[in-house]
Amino acid sequence: MRPTAGRFPPFPPRRRSRGCLGCLTQCLLGLAVGGALILLSTWIFAPWGFYLGGNFHILPMWQGWGTLRADSGRYVLYVRFQPRPSGRGSIYPGPSVGGNAWLCSPRGEIFYMHLGGGMRRGIGNNTDGEKISLYMDNYKLFFGNMRDHRPYVEFRGQWQNPNLVMDDHGSISRAFNADGTVDDGKARRNRPYPGPIVPITLVPGSYSDFEAACKAK
């Protein structure tokens, strides 16, 4: 039987909308499941992340801040990092960490930094006494030259739970000029390597601790 001209198949019945509350519930449930999977994966592959600093904590991360007194002035550093997969291209064959850092210069400028680092292969849950290296470079969020990642700084040291006792390996003197401005790369060529090495002790703390120390200058 031929279909009658001008007639169309009926539309399927419309599903009743669950409303904003239903969408919000689904989003929260998805976030909870995703967070649980991340925690489970970290517990399997990097259980040491739950013991950074010495004590067990439910979130596998560590955050702390400290000050450096260089020839060019006083710097305040805040770091926040967690375990991350080493990957084939990683420069660290052992456990790797990733996160963010904020560096306050003697001029009061605050630089937002990408952070990476690593420790030796085969570490256990107790990281006390273990060596660790951190490196970080500037990351401009909204304005400026996105290809310019100066300043670049690095730190080497070890855990002395709950603190990180480190030095800058001369990176502050390479990254900044004598007046605390960021070096453009030209003046660095005439400076000795690695330059003055500045110690720093990072103690557990929050961004608000860092911010208060930066403003106190």
Structural domain harbouring 205: 50-215
Residue 78 lies in a domain: yes
Give the total number of structural domains in the chain.
2
- Return the percentage of the chain with pLDDT > 90, whole number: 58
Same domain, 30 and 64: no
- pLDDT tens per residue across span 34-60: 556 667 667 687 899 999 999 999 999
Give Cα 107 to chain centroid, integer Å: 23
Same domain, 174 and 75: yes
Amino acid type, 138: N
Same domain, 179 and 148: yes
Same domain, 38 and 91: no
Same domain, 38 and 136: no
Q: What is the pTM of this model?
A: 0.77
Residue 2 lies in a domain: no
Same domain, 24 and 122: no
Residue 86 lies in a domain: yes
Same domain, 121 and 144: yes
Same domain, 132 and 68: yes
Residue 31 lies in a domain: yes
Same domain, 67 and 41: no
Q: What is the pLDDT along the chain (217 residues), one digit of tens a residue?
A: 444 455 545 545 555 555 556 676 666 666 555 556 667 667 687 899 999 999 999 999 999 999 999 999 999 999 999 998 765 444 445 689 999 999 999 999 999 999 999 998 888 899 999 999 999 999 876 555 566 788 999 999 999 999 999 999 999 999 999 999 999 876 666 777 778 999 999 999 999 999 999 999 6
Return d(Cα 155, Cα 134) in angstroms, integer. 5
Same domain, 24 and 58: no
Same domain, 30 and 83: no
Same domain, 89 and 158: yes
DSSP per-residue string spanning 9-72: PPPPPPPPP-HHHHHHHHHHHHHHHHHHHHHHHHHHH-GGGGGTTSS--SSS-EEEEEEEEETT
Residue 150 lies in a domain: yes
Residue 94 lies in a domain: yes
